[in-house]
């Protein structure tokens, strides 16, 4: 952090979780049976401080050829 080195970044877990649910619902659909597992797969590393890995994984999901333009727009 070059702009505010004396500050500590804090993740807003509630909103991050909401965004993960929104993202997974857009990518898989609200009735997909693997939604909970997918959210957990993103949330656990996020809570462990591996935010960059989660962002990379989500960016990879958006590059999937089955991901539609409207899905990409909602997720971004």
State pLDDT tens for residues 16-58.
999 999 999 999 999 999 999 999 999 999 999 999 999 999 9
Q: Say if residue 1's pLDDT is above 80.
A: no
**Does residue 41 fall inside a structural domain?**
yes
pLDDT of res. 55 = 92
Number of domains, the chain: 1
Does 2 have pLDDT greater than 80? no
Token pair in block for residue 38: 């997918």
Does the residue 5 lie in any domain?
no
Determine the 3-state secondary structure of 3 from DSSP.
Answer: coil
Q: Give a yes or no: residue 3 inside a domain.
A: no
What the block records as the tokens of 56 is 């990379």
pLDDT at position 6, please? 85
Q: Is the dihedral of CA 19, 21, 26, 27 positive or negative?
A: positive
Helix, strand and coil content of the chain, in percent to the nearest 5, comes to 65, 0, 35
Residue 22 domain-assigned (yes or no): yes
The model's pTM is 0.80
Domain that holds residue 47: 13-75
Residue at 2 is within a domain: no
Q: Is residue 25 part of a domain?
A: yes
């Amino acid at each position: 952090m070059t702009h505010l080195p004396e500050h500590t970044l804090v993740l807003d877990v509630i909103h991050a979780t909401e965004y993960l649910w929104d993202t997974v619902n857009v990518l898989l659909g609200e009735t997909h049976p693997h939604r909970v597992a997918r959210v957990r797969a993103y949330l656990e590393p996020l809570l462990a401080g591996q935010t960059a890995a989660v962002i990379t994984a989500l960016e990879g999901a958006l590059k999937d050829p089955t991901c539609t333009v409207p899905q990409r727009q909602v997720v971004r």
